[in-house]
Amino acid sequence: MVYFDSASSAPLHPVARQALTASLDEGWADPARLYREGRRARLLLDAAREAAAEAVGCRADELVFTSSGTRAVHSGVAGALAGRRRTGRHLVVSAVEHSSVLHAAETHRAGGGTVGEVGVDRTGRVDPEAYRAALRPDTALACLQSANHEVGTEQPVAEVARLCTEAGVPLLVDAAQSLAWGRVAGDWSLLAASAHKWGGPPGVGLLAVRKGVRFAPQGPADERESGRSPGFENIPAIVAAAAALRAVQQEAADEAERLRSLVDRIRGRVPELVPDVEVVGDPVRRLPHLVTFSCLYVDGETLLHELDRAGFSVNSGSSCTSSTLTPSHVLRAMGVLSEGNVRVSLPPGTAEEDVERFLAVLPDAVRGVRERLGAPADAPSEAAAGAAAAAADGGAGNTAQRGEQPALTVDSLGKRCPVPVIELARVIGDVGIGEIVEVLSDDEAARLDFPAWCEMRDQEYVGERPAPRGTAYLVRRRT
């Protein structure tokens, strides 16, 4: 098996394993106690904090350890909002933030606060000027990830931080995906990260709060971690996390160059090897180890299973999975194809031959999924034409007239991604140039996938309109 999902969780770094084992014998005591065992534990904790603070680029007394990256985000958002309650209750986030940030925003909204969302372009990048426009006199906090967890696009944190500083608004940066590759640039105010993303043990997060930022910890507190992260510190895991972060940052320059070359190979070769593929994310301003692409006419969950059987562990932001019936909020915000989505994130040490083997097995895996779903070939087959005729005969509200009225209606209600798009592809050749096909669908992914299909197939997406059930999507045949 080859593990290509380090964006979810990186394998434990050898340095982390050594530090964890060594500190188990010295870091078990209570670091708040004055006796010898407590003092030894405190020395380990203080050394880990110094190392982590250096890697982050903050003072040691500005950094606390939490039980996870999610806890760091939630604590950071809640504490910063509470600390600036007199300013207002307006929170600004980007549309592609990690779910931990968006969940914190929903909690804030449910408690009476307001949330402004900044959109992104098709690469997943925010416009700094859009952030400037979103800031209001009552804005208490802004949040922006350093790099996206699904498509790898790096955000203009330094520029947004400058604009936030000019407006007197603190900026919280979710640096979970990028911290392994180096410090986050810019004059940010708060930063959160998670150890298992950089090869540390799970169950350790960190939260940095710059001096001068008004911050009021929420919930029951105690004397540990400056009152910002209550509970007994897991010192062996913290020591291992700090050791791993220092190690991966020292290795980052050479490893980033090597992995970027491998990712460039995947980005270039996949569209050549697999028809109807959209590579998403910024092609230049991106993390070095991550690439995401979407395959037309493919069920994402089935494709992941096929790749798993072929020996590759990858992830997906596709809506076509058993865990969700809605498209990834990141892909939705970008307005890109969501079906058949595959995220490949290479861990440090990935071998070139493993990438070549992945590229060798991917085309057959995609082809097999498409065949099982009955997806049309590049040239419609007789079987596809027969299926199209049957769909035309059975369609509701068909009309032969031209104009904005559909020449053909396809009922895809109750069918999930990618079936509605497949059914459209089967029948588009049965109407004349300039005529419209109407597809009825109640699948959330359809709102993304029909426009993306039209762009990939050089057809015209006319739009959508409400239907008695679901939504009617209108496509005009151009070719």
Catalytic residue numbers read 320
Residue 69: C-alpha distances to residues 51, 72, 129 (Å): 18, 5, 28
Q: Given its phi and psi angles, is residue 323 left (phi above 0), alpha (psi -120 to 50 degrees) or beta?
A: alpha
Residue 364 CA to its chain's centroid (Å)? 27
Calpha distance 106→112 (Å, rounded): 10
Nearest Cα neighbor of 203 from 368, 302, 70, 294 is 70
* 155 contacts 121 by C-beta, under 8 angstroms: no
241 CB contacts (<8 Å, ≥6 apart)?
16, 48, 52, 65, 195, 200, 201, 204, 206
The enclosing H or E element of 298 equals none
- CA angle at residue 374 from 371 to 379, to 5 degrees? 85
302-329: buried (b, 16+ CB within 10 Å) or exposed (e) per residue? bbbebbeebebebbbbbbbbeeeeebbb
105 CB contacts (<8 Å, ≥6 apart)?
77, 91, 93, 97, 115, 143
DSSP, collapsed to helix, strand or coil, labels residue 270 as helix
**Looking at residue 470, what DSSP letter applies?**
S
Phi, psi of 90 (to 5 degrees): -100, 130
